[in-house]
Structure 1
């Protein structure tokens, strides 16, 4: 099996591939203070829950935007699985040509999502990832990463309201029945969710004005499903897009990974 891992600012998600089929996935909070043994014990618990053994895992590929976690997490893979993981980064083929200033500054997560969207759904496309931050990226018909836009994620938006305004509570992010709320919670939900939908629709509209109306819009991310059902501007919601991108990149590097120089 192949273990694919996405280390994000809020969560670490892990997926297990058997051949080309994603058979299980798990999520845990990203914490800088965890040791390699803590990550190893959690990984072992996930595997034991499904009767997987360490020897069942042949390779590991990781996308990370949290450098502080990389050492302890990769050490856990080496110690508990006896595998040296591959990190998406310089020297790893992605099948995506990066056409921006300072290509090395592009986050691995955006590159992985771009590969997942392009090789699964084709180009040209807009890739939206509703994560800690929300990113809007454009991939051309030729598989070129042309650039993107970044905004505060919907979770950050909600947290900012409750943390900066003394009388506003923490709330669950969900779609209210009406855009005009009859109480504080409903009012906040309406402003956050419908306001965010407005952001998405406007940014997609502006991108299409610049790059063409034939752009397919692919979205992913934990809270993306809520927004997908509230707007017609998103063509596809794919919760597993990042896993697919990691598997695609792994397959493009398989020979090199198995036979390192």
Structure 2
């Protein structure tokens, strides 16, 4: 079995794979203040709760967009499993041709998603990851990662609206029955949801046009991340929701780079 760890700005998502099967996954709040010992206690308790043995883990791979947490996580892995983890970074074997001006700037999560998407769907892709930031990535059939778009995530926008205005409250992100609403809370909910739906449709349409102008067939649009279902329910521009795309990408990268 292998342990995969995806570190985002808000959450750390972990999964245990037995060959290609995801046995269990967990979501933790991200904190760069935790020590390796604190992370070790969390991991040990999660394994115990799910009747898994630390000794059954043969390898670990980590992708992270939060550099400050890596020291603690790497040392946790060495303490708990007595192995050194594979880290997703520049120079790792991915099979991608990263077309960014500076490939080192490409986020690990975007690389991992692209690897998984190509392996699973075997066609041109637009991958939307609804995380702390929402990313749109364009990947060709020949494994060129063309780049894409980064926008503030829905929750960031929600928090900014409440913190930067004097009278607007922080609200729960829910679907409203209508776009035109008759109270402040519903108006904010409507604006956030349908504003992001419109954003997705505009960006996807333009990305498709640019990719097809390059000679690509119409790309498949795959969404992942915590809020992917909420958005995809309101638009036909998303073809597939794949909630474990990142974890599967880490599994694939582990075996590509296993020594």
Q: Which residue of 2 aligns with 1:259?
A: none
Q: Which residue of 1 aligns with 2:147?
A: 147
The reply to whether residue 188 of structure 1 matches residue 185 of structure 2 is no
Q: TM-score, structure 2 length as denominator?
A: 0.96
**Whole-angstrom distance in 2 between the partners of 1:182 and 1:46:** 45
Instruction: Indicate which of 237, 245, 252 corresponds to 2:249.
Output: 245
- 1:81-102: CA deviations, max 9, x gaps? 2121110113321121111211
Q: How many residues align?
A: 255
Helix, strand or coil: the match of 1:207? helix
Cα deviation, residue 103, structure 1:
0.7
**Whole-angstrom distance in 2 between the partners of 1:122 and 1:111:** 16
**Whole-angstrom distance in 1 between the partners of 2:96 and 2:71:** 26
Instruction: Indicate which of 204, 215, 220 corresponds to 2:219.
Output: 215
Within a 5 Å distance, the mapping from 1:61-210 to structure 2 comes to: 61-210=61-210
**Whole-angstrom distance in 1 between the partners of 2:99 and 2:123:** 15
**Whole-angstrom distance in 1 between the partners of 2:3 and 2:171:** 34
**Whole-angstrom distance in 2 between the partners of 1:2 and 1:177:** 44
Kept after mapping to 2: 8 A contact 1:95/1:249 = no
Q: Where do 5+ consecutive residues of structure 1 fail to align?
A: 257-261
- 1:71-117: CA deviations, max 9, x gaps? 01111111122121110113321121111211111111100011111
Cα deviation, residue 228, structure 1:
1.0
Q: TM-score, structure 1 length as denominator?
A: 0.95
Divergent runs of 4+, >3 A = none
Q: Where do 5+ consecutive residues of structure 2 fail to align?
A: none
Cα deviation, residue 216, structure 1:
0.7
Q: Which residue of 2 aligns with 1:51?
A: 51
Q: Which residue of 2 aligns with 1:24?
A: 24
